Structures are given as C-alpha cells and as structure tokens.
Structure 1
Amino acid sequence: MRLLLLCLLLQFSIMAQTTNTALEPLRSEPPLRVGVIGLVHTHVHWILGREDQGDIEIVGIVEPNRELAAQYSLQHGYSMDLVYNTIEEMVAAKKPQAVTAFNTIYDHLSVVEYCAPRGIHVMVEKPLAVSWEHAQQMAALAEKHNIHLLTNYETSWYGSNEEAYDLYHKQQAIGDIRHLNFYTGHPGPIEIGCNPEFVEWLTDPVLNGGGALTDFGCYGANLTTWLTQGEVPLSVSCITQQIKPDLYPKVEDEATIIIAYPKTQVVIQASWNWSHNRKEMEIYGTHGYIFCKNGTDMIIMEEEAKGPYDHQAGPLSPGLHDPFAYLSQVVQYGYTVNPWDVSALTNNLRVMQILEAAKVAAQTGKTVNWQEFFGS
C-alpha cells in the first residue's frame, strides 16, 4: 500500500504540471447524470436544494429508508420514482456518470467498490474514509479503474480561503507560513438539532471513524495540506476529551491536533463544544497574517507598521463555485485536478494519514513520528 501511495503521488504530480483547461460553458453539454447515494448525511440538502443551474441532473437516489426519502421528497420536490433501495438497482436503471455519497463514512468504501469497476466517478462527503486502511483501498480502486475520486468540504467553496491562498502563494503578502490555526465545529450535533438518522452514525466510532476528531479535524488537515502543497509533516500530536459522555458516550467530543512541519506548526481545534458554529482559519507568516472568519469576512495584515485591514472576499468563479458544478467540470470537460487541490485524492490521502496519526497519538498519549509511523 505504501508503494501504491508513492505511485499515486508521482502520477498526480505529473498531472499537476499540465496547464488547466479553461472552464467550459455550463450548458454546452447535456447535464452530468448524477446519482445520490444515501440521504442520512444532512449535507445532502446541498444537492437536493440546489437550484437548477443546468450542469447536473439527479437521475437516481439510493435510500432504503423510504420514510426519510419521502420526507425529503416533500421538502425538495423530487419524485419518489427516483428513489431506489440499492445502488445496484439505481445504476442498472439510470446509468449515472457520477455519484455523490451522502451515506455513512464507513460506507464510502463500498460505494467505490461498486462504482469504480463500472467507470462511475465518485464524490464523497468529508472525510474521504473512516481510516487510512479504507482510504488506501479506495485509492487503489480509483487508480485501477481510472475514475475520479473527489472529496467535498464546505470550506472548499469559501472565497476567503481562495483569496488567502492567493495572498500567500501568488502575492507573497505575509512571508513564509510559521503558524496555522483552525477553529472548527459547533455546540454539538444533538445540540444544533441534527436529525436522528444523521446523529445515529455520526456518533458511532465505526460508522464515522470517530467523533469530533473525524468530523472537524479533517477540515484543518485538508486546508493545511493545500496551503503547504503537500509538505510532509514531522510529527502529529493529539489530545481528545469526552466532555459530554451523557450525550456522546461512544466518541470524543473534543480534539486538539498539533502537526509539526520543519518550519511551521499547525493547531487544529475540532470540537462539539463551541458556543457557535465556526470554521475559521488563521495564517501567520513571517511578517503578516490572514484571518478567514467565514466564507467572506477576512482580516489581513501584510506589515505590522501599516496595521490590519478588513476585507470581503468575492465569490468563486462560475463553474468552480460549488461541489457539483466542479464535479461537472472535472468529469465532462476534463478540468485538471492538481494533486494538492482541496478535493483531490492525493490531498485527502494525506488528510487520512494525519487523522490516523492523531487517533494513535490520542490513544497512546505519545507524539507520532511521521517517518517512523508511515515510513515516508
């Protein structure tokens, strides 16, 4: 499996040297035929409630829970004729070009196992998998059958994050990165009113791969890997707590991950104990900083003498503005997925390594040495 990862990194690095194609008009081709696998992940409302932009068409939905499917049918207006009990039935009847997985994280592997040999591209909700072991199996299948395997994060579509990347990499506005801080999470899935179908698996260590560590630690790991362009960590440390065992008896609800790089330290605070919903990023360079408070609001200091200023980030380019437009561009028009892009498989394999090391560090109470643990 280690050889597989090295081969994937080499392949995607070669791909990254090619010039990306210009975005194609969204309606120059028939819409991408997309199947939705599962309705138990409430992020599914994103695709179900998305206005018709002409770039994708939901041709089938897989959800054995007919009551849940009917509830969402009333809410979003799709026909129950689109709903199938199994992926086998849906694929045979509708022949999608791609699927989006909104089932449990554990079941991401089974989606890829079925779709990859049939040439069906897959986009999963974050994180890529429940474990490094599952992630490697998924990557091997995607490579063998030449499909795109993408991972969707809400933060991938924040204009603030995109502008922060541009300020750092292209404008070199703050110098070299020394510190990255991430504050991700909310008061808790039960506290914010997540539906029972979601809470049932989100708080299960097998089906979700963990609790807050998995649920929100992945955001910081993903953005760090993007901002550092795949720099290999030196070590990973992690402390977890179970502050609310009465609500979450099986998993941690608090996690702090520390990732050490040769010249950068990353702190990810992933929590179901925040006072409010938050996905914030702080980038500290050698002579400036960039704070992304949400998808649009930013505070930037390029030089201490000039002081900080507020900035409002603009939207992302049409065609790259949300996961489903992006999926259409990649599958239909050959938009290049560079190896360390936020949705890319290579990036998300690294994310799974970070999460795996964090789990081990939390369980053992010892810092995980990257080279000793992964061998590279």
Structure 2
Amino acid sequence: MKKIRYAVVGAGWISQIAFMPSIAQTGNSEMTAIVSGNPANARKLAEFYGIGQVYPYQRYDELLKSGLVDAVYIALPNSLHADYAIRAANAGIHALVEKPLAVTVAECEAMIAAAERNGVQLMTAYRLHTEPGTLEAIDMVRRGEIGEPRIFSSVFSFPVGAGNHRLKAEHWGGPLQDIGVYCINAVRHLFQAEPTEVIAAAASAPGDQRFAEVEEMVSATLRFPGDRLAHFTASFGADDLDQYRVIGTKGQIEVSPGFKFDRAMKIRLTSGGGTEEKSFPQYDHFSGQAHYFSDCILKGIRPEPDGGDGLADVAIMRAIEEAARTGRSQKISLPPRPSHPVKEMGRAFPMAEKRLML
C-alpha cells in the first residue's frame, strides 16, 4: 500500500504526546522528516521513530522541494499556521493544520486559496470528526432521538501552569482559541447550522499573573437559525471539566468527556422517561485523523473538516472576542457548510503506546 509521507512541523508537546506515536499503526501514513527549532530533541525523536531527516525551520522550503514528503502536519504556534501551510501548498504539499486554522479570516482565506490554486488538500485537525463516539452523538441528533435540538451547553476547563505557550498573546493564545474552539465546532455540527449572532464575556482572577496577556475564561452565547441557543465556557483557571449537553424537544444527550483524547467517551441519552448510557473504547484520535487525511489524499477526496470549517470557527471566535470587548452582541454571517461529519468517517484505532516525551 502506498503511504503518505509526513513531515512533522513543530515537534512540541502535541506532536510528541499524540501525533508522532499515532502514525505507525495507521498503515497508510509514515513520518519521513521533522522540522524543529530544537535539533537535539529532534534527533532523539527521529532516532526513536526511525525518521530519516531533521530540518531546522530555516530549511523548511528546501524540505518541501526535496521530494521526501507528501504532506505536513503543522503543530506550530497559531500565528505561524498560515505561513507554513501556504508555503507547503505552493510547493505542492498537502497540509494538516492544528486548530485554530489561523489567527484571522483573511489568513484562512489565503490558505484555502493556496491549496485550491495548487491542487492540494488542506485539512483542519479536528480529530473528533473521525472519533466514533463523537460521530454517534452527531448521528443520534440527526436521527431525531432527542427531537429538535434546541439548547447546547458546554464547559471545557483545566488549569494551565505559568509560562505555558497557551498564555502568550503574540500567538493568539487563550482559552477561547485553544479549547473553546472545540465547543464551537461541536455545536455547529450537532445543530448542522452556523450561528447568526453572539454575546460574550471574559474574566480573569484578580492578581493571577498567569493571565497577564490573555483572559482566564470566556463565556459565549450563540444564536442559531430556528431561534436555538448554545452556551459554553472555556477556562484555563478552573478545575478539570470536559463535557457538553444537547437538549431537544423530546430528550437530551450528555457527552462526557466530550473533547479530550486521553480518556474514553460516554454518551448518556435521556428520552421518554428513561436513561441509556453508551460507553466507547478509548480510541486513538490522532491515528484516526491521520488515516482519514491520508485516505483523502490517496483517493483525491476533499476532507470534510476542510479549510472552510476552520475558517468558520475563526470567524466566530473573532466575533466572540469583539462581543466580549465591547459588551455588545455581534452579528455573524457564514455560508452553510456543504457537509458535516458522518459515521463513515469513523476510525477505531487502539491507543498507541510507543511514545517519547522530551
């Protein structure tokens, strides 16, 4: 079987803990290069995973033209996503880009245009779009098991330590961008619609120096067509909580955990006076995501979580920021999504066990 050859661009925590361990078991993907600013760590990772080449960021364009890679996995700070993805596209290389796709709508549009112009695939790394439990939750709503979905409510929080890169304003860090994006993306596909208006507020604990550059937490309420409402809170200062609930006219589903990749998912359906719980194995989200993207490349199929999906979330987050800053509601105008995640996208890989953390 032909395998898609990946360069890992940015060999930090998410690459080490999740992406790099996941590739070996996909069967249709392999890693052939690492691009990193830490040559010592990169060489250790390359030896551990049997990766042939290590490049500094200054030689990224050289790598793209070398014929060694078919695709890049971009796990850089948010502010660098667009530049590295556009350079890859211009070299005829596909790009799997961590969320948020970029820091502005204009950057997202430039990334999408570059991919289309050069005939390559651009995918926003929404790993949950291939996770069977998430796909079952979406399908339960689609099948009408809770009637018409009317309310979405979610809290995603965990405490972040001082000095974490997520707390840097220069890279558009913060809880909204890092974890609130999961809540936004989830409700858009559960409701199968785009929001039309948002109100929001941001807050930080007085005197907590962790949040000198970004807010501790953001809460937003989104209005959707059909006068439906979605509310979420994303926090870097509160205790660990990861769940969402969808309430319809005939029942409700609760998904907990809802977004993280380090534990198995459970869905609780309450309808008709009874409650049913569905438990899923702990799947490797990153193996599923890489397998799906490689499959799209090999078959010439546009990935469902494409650049447009990432752009929509960036547009919504920018509107949330403005609503929180001004205290006024913000209108949102987005085209309908041409597709949503379906169960056929599911990938049921076991958790990878071989990993090296530096």
TM-score (norm 1): 0.79
Q: Secondary structure at the match of 1:322?
A: helix
Q: Which residue of 1 aligns with 2:55?
A: 84
Q: Which residue of 1 aligns with 2:290?
A: 324
Q: 1:245 to 1:319 in 2, by over 3 A?
A: closer
Q: Which amino acid aligns with 1:32?
A: I
Q: Per-residue CA shift, 1:287-307, capped at 9, x if unaligned?
A: 10111102421111122x3x2
Q: 1:115 to 1:88 in 2, by over 3 A?
A: same
CA–CA separation in structure 1 for the residues paired with 2:287 and 2:253: 22
Match of 1:265 among 199, 224, 229: 229
Q: Is the 8 A contact 1:181 1:266 kept in 2?
A: yes
CA–CA separation in structure 1 for the residues paired with 2:5 and 2:303: 20
Q: Is the 8 A contact 1:225 1:347 kept in 2?
A: no
1:347 Cα offset (Å): 1.8
CA–CA separation in structure 1 for the residues paired with 2:296 and 2:87: 21
Q: Which amino acid aligns with 1:311?
A: K
Unaligned runs of 5+ in 1: 1-28
Q: Which residue of 2 aligns with 1:4?
A: none
Match of 2:14 among 36, 42, 45: 42
CA–CA separation in structure 1 for the residues paired with 2:84 and 2:60: 8
CA–CA separation in structure 1 for the residues paired with 2:247 and 2:211: 34
RMSD: 2.6
1:84 Cα offset (Å): 0.4
Q: Is the 8 A contact 1:101 1:111 kept in 2?
A: yes
Q: Give the total of aligned pairs.
A: 325
Alignment of 1:1-376 (within 5 A): 29-50=1-22, 52-53=24-25, 54-70=27-43, 72-73=45-46, 76-79=48-51, 81-85=52-56, 86-169=59-142, 171-188=143-160, 190=161, 199-200=164-165, 202-207=166-171, 209-229=172-192, 231-243=193-205, 245-262=208-225, 263-276=227-240, 278-294=241-257, 295-303=264-272, 305=273, 307-313=274-280, 322-338=288-304, 343-371=305-333
1:233 Cα offset (Å): 1.9
Q: 1:73 to 1:115 in 2, by over 3 A?
A: closer
1:359 Cα offset (Å): 0.9
Q: 1:70 to 1:95 in 2, by over 3 A?
A: closer
CA–CA separation in structure 2 for the residues paired with 1:252 and 1:60: 36
Q: Per-residue CA shift, 1:12-65, capped at 9, x if unaligned?
A: xxxxxxxxxxxxxxxxx2211111111135344322212622211111111122
Q: 1:119 to 1:285 in 2, by over 3 A?
A: same
Q: Which amino acid aligns with 2:110?
A: Q
Q: 1:150 to 1:222 in 2, by over 3 A?
A: same
Q: Per-residue CA shift, 1:177-199, capped at 9, x if unaligned?
A: 111112223111x27xxxx6xx2
Q: 1:43 to 1:185 in 2, by over 3 A?
A: farther
Q: Secondary structure at the match of 1:354?
A: helix
Q: Per-residue CA shift, 1:70-121, capped at 9, x if unaligned?
A: 45457x4445x52101312322334311110011111111112211122211
Q: Is the 8 A contact 2:73 2:96 kept in 1?
A: yes
Unaligned runs of 5+ in 2: 258-263, 337-358
Q: 1:71 to 1:246 in 2, by over 3 A?
A: farther
CA–CA separation in structure 2 for the residues paired with 1:285 and 1:320: 31
TM-score (norm 2): 0.83
CA–CA separation in structure 2 for the residues paired with 1:336 and 1:257: 31
CA–CA separation in structure 2 for the residues paired with 1:130 and 1:148: 20
Q: Secondary structure at the match of 1:210?
A: coil
Q: 1:106 to 1:319 in 2, by over 3 A?
A: closer
Q: Secondary structure at the match of 2:232?
A: strand
